[in-house]
Amino acid sequence: MIAAATIKIQVEATLAQRVPAALTLKIKQAPELFSTGVAEVDAMLGGGIPRNSIREVSGAASTGKSSFARPLLANVTLLGNACAWVDVNDALSLESVAAAGVELRRMLWLRMSAERRHKLSENPWSRLEQALKATDLLLQTGGFAAIVLDMSDVL
């Protein structure tokens, strides 16, 4: 046991010289949580969805995926944060988003224009590829507290 303790001290001393903070315990801050607007879901998630995290909500058509996302974005924008909705099929209803309490001036809505959507309608992969690239760019900016990538009914 003494030999193992001695080796540990030697390794720590060597690393301390080469990489000063290599073995320093870093206390991680608890992430900011955003309420989903559904108390039962928030309880299951330990308080809500963490900022700067990736979550997937999936299900068959008309199962409430968008209805789940809208109150989440409302909570995000009410706290003064920006959010984005990447809309592959141009299916988002701004009326329903506003009715859920989302501050529209804090939400970026990326959607296919009418002409572009028509040109790409034969190839859903092209729309999806563009949406994924746009989402990647938004993630890289770091300025959005929440980003919804709506891929409903792509295929």
CATH number assigned to the domain comprising residue 50 = 3.40.50.300
pLDDT band of 124, cuts 50, 70, 90: low
Asked if residue 17 is part of any domain, the answer here is no
Q: Tell which wins on pLDDT, 143 or 27.
A: 143
- Residue 114: the pLDDT is 45
24 part of a folded domain: no
Residue 100 has which token pair? 């859920």
Domain-located, residue 11:
no
CA neighbours closer than 13 Å in the CB half-sphere of residue 68: 17
Q: In this prediction, what percent of the chain has a pLDDT beyond 90?
A: 43
Residue 19 included in any domain: no
> Does a structural domain hold residue 5?
no
Residue 13 covered by a domain: no
In a domain, 123, yes or no: yes
Inside any domain, residue 22: no
What range defines the domain where residue 67 resides? 30-150
DSSP string, the chain: -HHHHHHHHHHHHHHHHHSTTTTPPPPPPPPPEE--S-HHHHHHTTSSEETT-------STTSSHHHHHHHHHHHHHHTT--EEEEETTS---HHHHHHTT--GGGEEEEE--HHHHHHHTT-HHHHHHHHHHHHHHHHHH---SEEEEE-TT--
pLDDT confidence tier of residue 113, bands split at 50, 70 and 90: low
What is the per-residue pLDDT across 83-112, written as a single tens digit (0 to 9) for each? 999 998 888 999 999 999 999 999 999 986
Which DSSP helix (H) or strand (E) runs through 111?
strand 107-111
| Domain count for the chain | 1
